Amino acid sequence: MHTDPRKPQLGPGNRLGTLFFVAILLGACQGPANLTVNERLDATSGVTLRGAQEAIAFARTESRYSRSARDYIYLGPVETNRQGRRDYYLWVGIATTLDRGFVAPTRDTPQTLQIELRGEPMVLTLLPWSERAAGLQRSELYTPPVTVQIELAARVALDQLDLLATEAPSSIRVADGEGRTQLYSRWDDESAWLGFFDSTAAVPSQQQAFAD
């Protein structure tokens, strides 16, 4: 093969350097896609809502009614920004593929969410989303594969959300008003709330406990 003497030739070291530089550029181009968060402005209230890329899923099977249909609970972090005041919530989506009310009995709405983290229980009081986030009827941040029928939420601090993401619990429990509990097991293997904490890294963590 003949080369043009007028054109500069790249030696082996230069070629490696060029390839390394191209790899960095490609990584930079692909990086932001992995840090995507959901964000929307509620036109009525003027509140900005921010959530993670995906909610994490937990499921529960009742084999006496169906071998394939399940109840699902989805969990996702939510940040609300009201003119600079940031509050944090754990969004809880209740869904099912069971034919409740016909094949299976209806169930009461959960009142508390119980999660064991580092050997200690975290018990969160649940209320309808519209009551937790005043003026916001629906979060409209998460669209799980199974249609969510009930939206609930717990008021939390940012460090509590961080702990949930770090520990990635394999199961959770919910309890109704009578104290009856149900166990749900982790159903997906997605990274917990990818990108959400990168987007809030510059926001001071709210360390105080919230009274319900």
pLDDT at 183 over 90: yes
The residues, ordered by sequence, that sit 6+ positions from 20 with a Cβ below 8 Å of its Cβ are none
Q: What is the pLDDT of residue 204?
A: 47
Instruction: Specify the higher pLDDT residue, 11 or 97.
Output: 97
Closest C-alpha to 117, from 178, 168, 54, 71:
168
Domain segments of the chain as ranges: 37-199
Each residue's pLDDT tens digit, 124-146: 999 999 888 877 777 788 999 99
Q: What is the pLDDT of residue 93?
A: 96
CA dist 188 and 55 (Å) reads 10
What are the distances in angstroms from CA 10 to CA 18, 25, 44?
A: 9, 20, 60
Kindly report the pTM of this predicted structure: 0.75
Mean pLDDT estimate for the chain? 78
Instruction: Specify the higher pLDDT residue, 154 or 104.
Output: 154
DSSP 11-25: -HHHHHHHHHHHHHH
The residues, ordered by sequence, that sit 6+ positions from 142 with a Cβ below 8 Å of its Cβ are 38, 51, 54, 55, 74, 76, 91, 93, 148
pLDDT at 59 over 70: yes
Each residue's pLDDT tens digit, 81-121: 988 899 999 999 999 887 665 666 667 889 999 999 999 99
pLDDT at 37 over 80: no
